[in-house]
Structure 1
Amino acid sequence: MTTLRLLLRPRLPEPAIPRVLSVDDFALRRGRHYATLLIDAVTHQRIDVLADRKAATLTAWLGSIPVSRSSAGTDRPLTPKPSTLLTPPRSGSDRWHLRHNLAAAVDKTVIAHASCWNSLPHNTSGVAAQRTRRRFAAVHELTDVGVGLLETTRRLGWSLNTVKRYARAESVEQLLRPPRYGRCLVDPYRDLVRRRLSEQVPVTRILDEIRAAGYTRSANLLVRYFQQGRADAPGPVPSPRKPDLVDHVPTLRSGHRPTPTHRTLDRLLPQMTAMARQVHAFATNLTYRRGIDLPDWIETTRSLQLPGFGQFLDSLVKAQPAVTAGLTRDCPGFG
């Protein structure tokens, strides 16, 4: 105890007031308890941690400093109202969160268009497909007679997002997704397997040939590969959550693609040309600080009705002044 008293006796130095303050929240217990992290956006040093994420708590701490805030959209705004401060802070959404949220929207859109790029055969009469058909029929049976989404949610006992997803689909085929498989140890020998299958070579002989080429796994894996139809697809099926399919999209230009991603994106982007054009336009706004073009970009993107961009566009509109400032100002705290 004496040692603790000696350690606690000296007063800690007052933290320096940063020129640009980055404010973001994080979960101590997801969905229940959150805290606020304050970072010097220039030096990247931690300034303080607040016990909650309420505006009143942040107001008590803030002074007359610019604020760079997260643009996650789903969280409550961390910046207090200007009327509660002696001098209103100048706020701007940091560009990292904008890129991150854009990539998440692209991810959702790619998955929604899985039938365009995933050519694997899929079972439309299986248990999952039958459940999808029943849910689609139940939702549209209510919405077609004028029942609202909230009332439909209450009657069916489902979440609102689930009801929205089924209500927005014009046909059940839009909800029936082909299977998504990860990489397989047979993939490196896929061209050999396809060629020998076209020549009607027995499976046992194909197994011997790929083993001679370096294949070390069992015959069962090869048989499942055939049964899933993966050898019949025109090419390896990419996963929509792989970095080479999603994470590079927001910054790619034609002719400037990393070599490992070139073929994958050439297969994907022609199916979603409009999305690729808007993503590249947003990347241009980020690069050249063209925040003035944000309203036109939002309007054009919303008119395309991309399935994964609704929440992202709503978050941009909700914090449009801050997003515009983040896209416009050349400040180290907003990068």
Structure 2
Amino acid sequence: MHAAGPVVRIEASTLAGRVACPGCGTLSDRVHSRYERRLSDTAISGREALIRLRVRRLFCDNPECSKKTFAEAVSELAARYARRTTALERVLCAVALALGGRAGARLTQRLAAAVSRMTLLRMVRALPDPEYATPRVLGVDDFALRRGHRYGTILIDVESSRPVDVLTDRTAETLTAWLHAHPGVEIVCRDRAGAYAEGAREGAPDALQVADRWHVWNNLAGAVERTVARHQECLSAAVDTVTESGPDPDADHQHGQDDQVTAPVQPAQPEDRTDRIATRTRERYTAIHALLAEGVGIRAISARLGLARGTVRRFTRAETVGELLTRNGTGRRPSLLEEFKPYLHQRWGDGCTNAAALFAEIKARGYRGGQKIVREYLRPFRAAGRTPEPPPKPPSVRRVVGWIMSDPSNMDEEDQRRLDAILATSSQLAALAGHVRAFATMMCGLRGHELEEWMAAVDADDQPGLHSFVVGLRRDQDAVTAGLTLPYNSGPVEGHVNRIKMIKRQMFGRAKADLLRKRILLSD
């Protein structure tokens, strides 16, 4: 062994002895010739290691063997025809699985075993798939290969949290075929997707399906949001509670009782709105429900009106057009000036009353609207002669939904007081909160046997939003009951879906299906 610069060279040779022919197994020690193999090895003290291994070529003495000569193999050091030792191959495979191509190639330079990114990717593709027994508890979920276009399915052993396989799509037929090829699954944990329910039913009819509790809770949150949106006028009670609990004692002294301030007007009620978005929403609602009455399906409506299927579904689920106009996603959009209003109040109070100057300042901070919007907003300031106090805003629909869906013992005291004020103004919202808390108690206590009683109580109450939720539960009642009873859930599957997102980001645009599958199954 000798070192020359950044490279350590090691010269070695095999010992004399009888070696088995790889063709027939006959032992031989008759030397035909010798030749030299050059192998790269793991670094020594930060230096690249090169092994010059001298091996023998031997005669095969078996006349019936197809091989007349064969090369002596040193399997403990390197595989046949390999240019790297087995130890270095393991290191490079671990780097490739953890970092991918480009980042892995940069790391190998620091490890004194530099290879190209394409070499690392070839090594990953050449790795064999791991061999696992068919899991008893199987977790199923989808992930995006190309978001909005192509999706795959990941299968997880829920008990060991190890990935079992990756499917190229998320159809029922593909899952059914996999389950037929891997009998023995007893429990299938899934979300509320109908394709996976059908695939599990056809592929493993004896397996118990478990609907994930988080997805059921999320479906309930959507029903609660639709109900709160119908009673949006009740949310102003939370503002009255804040005003009564914390008035400003110095306000009259500071501003003077005779100052008349023109406060910004509150958003119009859904039935009073005449803006462009409201008009378009009413027209679409009328057209979609007219086609539904004629028996036209969602896909056909989407093609006929040139709308996305998700938009059509949202309009079909809305019982009134007012429900659509009270939600920011399809109704009134927040003003472009909204996030800059506190800054404008501060600067006006500092004495800067030039609208053009204020427009330039907020534009530098990221404002994307026009100067006319700023001038219109500042006009009441100028008329009043001082900075008007912006009126307190009622909490948003989603914030109230968050309060209703939260554990009362973990809520802030002020939020609890505001929620109580809202519930006191509407018996329907109060009943809704009671149903939600009863469901949460049942879910957290894994008392799935109480589900039928809870659904009967909702059916007997005037809760249209929860009625649609209950209809969905009844279509999948066995799986939902199992999800509310058994300790299994889709948490490990969701964790692997999040890991897949990280792997895809690492691989930039080279995450093809075969390579991505290898990294999902083989990465630690």
Bigger Cα displacement from structure 2, 115-124 vs 287-296:
115-124
2:419 paired with 1:265: yes
Q: Which runs of 5+ in 2 are unaligned?
A: 1-80, 84-118, 240-265, 353-357, 363-370, 381-387, 493-524
Seen in structure 2, the aligned counterparts of structure 1 residues 311 and 2 have a Cα distance that, compared at 3 Å, is farther
Task: Say which of 207, 216, 221 aligns to 1:98.
Answer: 216
Structure 2 counterpart of 1:64: 184
2:272 paired with 1:126: no
Query: Does the 8 Å CA contact 1:15/1:47 hold for their aligned counterparts?
Result: yes
Structure 2 counterpart of 1:202: none
Matched letter for residue 276 of structure 2: V
Residue by residue over 1:224-251, the C-alpha shift from the partner in whole angstroms, topping out at 9 and shown as x without a partner, is 3887xx9675x3333334xx54345334
Structure 1 counterpart of 2:228: 110
SS of the counterpart of 2:435?
helix
Query: Does the 8 Å CA contact 1:111/1:240 hold for their aligned counterparts?
Result: yes
Task: Say which of 448, 453, 473 aligns to 1:316.
Answer: 473
Residue by residue over 1:157-212, the C-alpha shift from the partner in whole angstroms, topping out at 9 and shown as x without a partner, is 4475366356x32xx655543846486454699xxx8xxxxxxxxxxx9932699x
Structure 2 counterpart of 1:161: 313
Query: Does the 8 Å CA contact 2:210/2:489 hold for their aligned counterparts?
Result: no
Matched letter for residue 300 of structure 1: A
RMSD: 4.6
The correspondence of residues 232-271 of structure 1 with structure 2, limited to 5 A, is: 233=391, 235-241=392-398, 244-247=399-402, 249-253=404-408, 256-259=410-413, 261-262=415-416, 265-266=419-420, 268-270=422-424, 271=426
Seen in structure 2, the aligned counterparts of structure 1 residues 37 and 129 have a Cα distance that, compared at 3 Å, is same
SS of the counterpart of 1:246?
helix
SS of the counterpart of 2:225?
helix
Query: Does the 8 Å CA contact 2:137/2:188 hold for their aligned counterparts?
Result: yes
SS of the counterpart of 1:69?
strand
Task: Say which of 430, 451, 459 aligns to 1:294.
Answer: 451
Structure 2 counterpart of 1:38: 155
SS of the counterpart of 1:125?
coil
Q: TM-score by structure 2 length?
A: 0.46
Seen in structure 2, the aligned counterparts of structure 1 residues 175 and 240 have a Cα distance that, compared at 3 Å, is closer
Task: Say which of 110, 120, 131 aligns to 1:14.
Answer: 131
Query: Does the 8 Å CA contact 2:134/2:182 hold for their aligned counterparts?
Result: no
Seen in structure 2, the aligned counterparts of structure 1 residues 70 and 311 have a Cα distance that, compared at 3 Å, is farther
Looking at structure 2, the residues matched to 157 and 116 of structure 1 have their Cα atoms a distance apart, in angstroms, of 38
Distance apart, 1:286 and its partner CA? 0.5
Distance apart, 1:322 and its partner CA? 0.9
Seen in structure 2, the aligned counterparts of structure 1 residues 8 and 90 have a Cα distance that, compared at 3 Å, is same
Distance apart, 1:321 and its partner CA? 0.5
Looking at structure 1, the residues matched to 410 and 293 of structure 2 have their Cα atoms a distance apart, in angstroms, of 50
Structure 1 counterpart of 2:7: none
Larger-gyration structure (1/2): 2
Seen in structure 2, the aligned counterparts of structure 1 residues 116 and 128 have a Cα distance that, compared at 3 Å, is farther
Looking at structure 2, the residues matched to 181 and 51 of structure 1 have their Cα atoms a distance apart, in angstroms, of 40
Seen in structure 2, the aligned counterparts of structure 1 residues 15 and 162 have a Cα distance that, compared at 3 Å, is closer
Q: Which runs of 5+ in 1 are unaligned?
A: 194-204
Seen in structure 2, the aligned counterparts of structure 1 residues 328 and 13 have a Cα distance that, compared at 3 Å, is same
Residue by residue over 1:287-328, the C-alpha shift from the partner in whole angstroms, topping out at 9 and shown as x without a partner, is 111211212323433454645446543432221111101111
Residue by residue over 1:96-128, the C-alpha shift from the partner in whole angstroms, topping out at 9 and shown as x without a partner, is 222232223333333343343269332622223
Bigger Cα displacement from structure 2, 290-299 vs 26-35:
26-35
Task: Say which of 164, 169, 186 aligns to 1:52.
Answer: 169
Identity of matched residues, %: 28
Query: Does the 8 Å CA contact 2:192/2:212 hold for their aligned counterparts?
Result: no
